[in-house]
Amino acid sequence: MKQVDCRKLKIQGLEILKEKIKGENINLKVIQIEGDKASDLYVSNKKKAASFVGIKADHVLLPNDIKEDDLKSLIKNFNNDESVNGIMVQLPIPAHLDADDVIETIDKDKDVDGLTSQNLGRIMSKKEGLKPCTAEGIMNILDACIGLKNLEGKNATIIGRTKLVGLPLFHMLLAYNVTPTICHTKTKKLEQFTKNADILITAAGQENPFIGQDMIKENSVVIDVSTVRDESGKFHGDVLYDEVIDKAGYVTPVPGGVGQLTVLELMNNTYKAYVLQKKRKK
């Protein structure tokens, strides 16, 4: 088994991006609604990465009781501001706000989280656009483990069907001639799908880890997206890491795993957004 060094991959990627950005003036708006403590850490990590590569990250902290129309109005102002290159809304947001409607307000070429329906549609039609950061980060991990050119013919099982991971990843893998399967809460006999997977990607977010050695294929790539904090304050994913290490070919750790690449891809997307907007002006 080889543990995937996601922190190393992130640093390498940020170093490359830093060289690309030299001399450019790129502005990212990070919108956060008060109330979710975990978001404080995530936003802090994003601001640090932005500072490292030379992106100006403006943290816009809004009150918990903000009205949806006011939030959308703010986003529209950023859409129309040519000095703003990227816009993201830190999720989750309070229940009185419709997250999907809020995200849809973002200009597709400034949608650095890659979550608008237009950008998700671009993936399906294989057009240039901004892809969801976690899904793109997973592709980065697969490239580091086995190489994207070697994905053809592989079987992949994805547990979870969200717009952040499962749905975009299905089409991204399909583009490399992988045979992907999406499993979810209504899937029966899950182990039949996981045992057949050359690549297993899990984003179930269960209260307790549940994927053990008996559920994976020998020498498979196991990517654990989930990050759950237990009662003692420790983080875990869906995978029983100590059980699978002797059977899997590669395993991502939790914590310090996929989230590292999510931050990297947010920075990459911000640069891509900047390039897309320059093209649009011509």
User: Residue 87 burial by CB count (10 A; 0-12/13-18/19+): exposed, middle or buried?
Assistant: buried
Structure tokens at 143: 């490239």
Query: What's the DSSP call for residue 97?
Result: S
Mark whether 58 is an active-site residue.
no
Are 135 and 124 in contact by the 8 Å Cβ rule? The answer is no
Peptide bond into 255 cis (omega under 30): yes
Q: Determine which one of 10, 29, 32, 46 is catalytic.
A: 46
Mark whether 113 is an active-site residue.
yes
Mark whether 186 is an active-site residue.
no
| CB proximity list for 282: less than 8 A, separation 6 or greater | none
CA atoms within 13 Å, Cβ hemisphere of 266: 28
Query: Strand, helix or coil at 157?
Result: strand
Q: Buried b / exposed e across 147-163, counting CB within 10 Å, b at 16+?
A: eeeebeebbbbbbbbbb
Query: What's the DSSP call for residue 142?
Result: H
To which H or E segment does residue 201 belong?
strand 199-202
Please, which residues bridge with residue 89 across strands?
31
Q: Determine which one of 10, 32, 90, 111 is catalytic.
A: 90
For residues 153 and 139, give the distance between their C-alpha atoms in angstroms, rounded to a whole number: 16
Query: Strand, helix or coil at 273?
Result: helix
Q: Determine which one of 113, 198, 224, 238 is catalytic.
A: 113
Query: What's the DSSP call for residue 54?
Result: T
Residues that are catalytic:
46, 90, 113
